[in-house]
Amino acid sequence: MKSGRIAHDTAVPGVKIILRATLFTVVLGAAAIAPALLAQTSAVDEIAKYRAALQDGNPAELWEARGEGIWQQKRGPKQATLEQCDIGLGPGVVKGAYARLPRYFADADRVMDLESRLLWCMATIQGFSDADSRKQLFGNGNDRKSDMEALVAYVTSESRGTPMNVGIAHPKEAEMYRVGERIFYFRGGPHDFGCVTCHGDDAKRIRLQELPNLTTKEGAQKAYTTWPAYRVSQGELRSFQWRLYDCFRQQRFPELIFGSDASIALTTFLARNANGAPFDAPAIKR
């Protein structure tokens, strides 16, 4: 992605930290660890303030509006809308549906998350070929916007405020949850890395980006309920599939295939761990 841009964004607060830490060290002398912590906390506070300032006028609304249009538009070889698409609560029911996903769908005989379900609806209802529906799964940060990300923005926005409630009553759902848990704790790749390496402890960061501890209830809830999100540094709305795709890239894992069982398993694991918390996305993130 645009790593250069991200580095640029964080460069200035990063400098601030070093300066502050030095200052405190001079003043406090021996207590060298405390000032570093202090500076870190204040930087995180500043980012929280930045985020709060952006909350009003979240550009995600532009994606939501575009996604609603695409949802209602006759598209594909069959010239059908997605309004007959059943994403779990019956054909065309969008309200609150995302808070129950991923779930088992009998017609596909498979556990699906929102994105894989949308691909399924595009194929069965609208007649798109797999290649056509996968043409632009992620926006490129410039002129090429993703219809998939717009649809995700629209559908998820209709679950805002609905408490997360992902079940594992069906054996296939339970299996997906267990597989997702295994993947979460699995370490591998050239860096002997796993999801748990970054997301298994409190107060870890990548540069200034604090990372949620996904092994705790609060951490999982806070993280899962704020995706998808508009990423200011990328100028794009990012889906949860994108989040996992990019986590895999950051871990130097093999490329995560969009809508694959591995991605759905991880989503099931994280979504269920967030149960009980009100869904609050599309959000805005740096």
Residue 70 binds to another protein (criterion: CB under 8 A): no
Buried b (16+ CB within 10 A) or exposed e, 204-217: eeeebebbbbbbee
Question: What crossing angle do the helices spanning 147-157 and 60-72 adopt, rounded to 10°?
Answer: 100
User: Quick check: is 247 catalytic?
Assistant: yes
Residue whose CB is less far from another protein, 3 or 142: 142
Least separation, in Å, of the C-beta of 54 and another protein? 8
* Beta-carbon contacts of residue 255 (< 8 Å; ≥ 6 apart): 245, 248, 249
What is the phi-psi region of residue 173: left when phi exceeds 0, alpha when psi lies from -120 to 50, beta otherwise? alpha
Q: Which of residues 5-64 bind another protein (CB under 8 A)?
A: 56-59, 61-62
Dihedral sign, Cα of residue 59, residue 60, residue 64, residue 70: positive
First to last CA, the chain: 14
Residue whose CB is less far from another protein, 77 or 235: 235
Q: Which of 273, 266, 240, 246 is nearest to 182 (CA)?
A: 266
Residue whose CB is less far from another protein, 113 or 158: 158
Instruction: Tell me the C-alpha distance between 69 and 221, whole Å.
Output: 30
Joined tokens for residue 68:
């609603």
Residue-by-residue DSSP string for 59-83? THHHHHHHHHHHHHS-BTTTTB-GG
Q: Which of residues 104-163 bind another protein (CB under 8 A)?
A: 142-143
Exactly one of 19, 65, 108, 257 binds another protein (CB under 8 A); that residue is 65
Exactly one of 91, 235, 254, 278 binds another protein (CB under 8 A); that residue is 235
Here's the x/- map for another protein, 204-233, by CB under 8 A: it reads as ----------------------------x-
Least separation, in Å, of the C-beta of 57 and another protein? 3
Least separation, in Å, of the C-beta of 43 and another protein? 22
Strand, coil or helix: 139: coil
Residue 3 binds to another protein (criterion: CB under 8 A): no
Residue whose CB is less far from another protein, 13 or 59: 59
Residue whose CB is less far from another protein, 68 or 113: 68
**Cis link prior to 282 (omega < 30° from 0)?**
yes
- Eight-class DSSP state of 111: E
Residue whose CB is less far from another protein, 59 or 163: 59
Least separation, in Å, of the C-beta of 32 and another protein? 38
Least separation, in Å, of the C-beta of 183 and another protein? 32
Q: Write down the catalytic residue from 85, 121, 195, 247.
A: 247
Least separation, in Å, of the C-beta of 232 and another protein? 8
- Eight-class DSSP state of 278: B
Number of residues that bind another protein (CB under 8 A): 12
Q: Are 208 and 10 in contact (CB under 8 A)?
A: yes
Residue 66 binds to another protein (criterion: CB under 8 A): yes
**What are the catalytic residues?**
247
Give the residues lining the site for another protein (CB under 8 A): 56-59, 61-62, 65-66, 142-143, 232, 235
